[in-house]
């Protein structure tokens, strides 16, 4: 990441690669909510 010409753009690219659309985001949040509870879950969202 340090070597990227545009670090902000690279981070956005990685984020889109991990969660490409709203449905994927919602699915991932549901999984997080079932795996983790209370304070940790709130921090992850």
Could you report the per-residue pLDDT of 2-40, keeping only the tens digit for each? 677 888 888 888 878 887 788 877 887 788 778 777 666
**Does 1 map to a domain?**
no
What is the count of structural domains for the chain? Answer: 1
Question: Minimal CA–CA distance to 29: which of 41, 40, 15?
Answer: 41
Contact between residue 28 and residue 19 where contact means Cβ atoms under 8 Å apart: yes
**Does 18 map to a domain?**
yes
Please tell me the distance from the alpha carbon of residue 35 to that of residue 21, in angstroms, as a whole number.
Answer: 21
- Sign (positive or negative) of CA dihedral 20, 26, 28, 29: positive
Domain coverage including residue 18? 7-44
Please tell me the distance from the alpha carbon of residue 34 to that of residue 29, in angstroms, as a whole number.
Answer: 9
The model's pTM is 0.42
> Rounded to a whole number, what is the distance in angstroms from the first to the last CA of the chain?
23
């Amino acid at each position: 990441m340090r070597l990227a010409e545009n670090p902000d753009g690279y981070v956005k690219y990685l984020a889109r690669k991990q969660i490409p659309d709203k449905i994927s985001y919602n699915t991932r949040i549901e999984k997080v909510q079932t795996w983790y509870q209370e304070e940790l879950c709130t921090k992850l969202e």
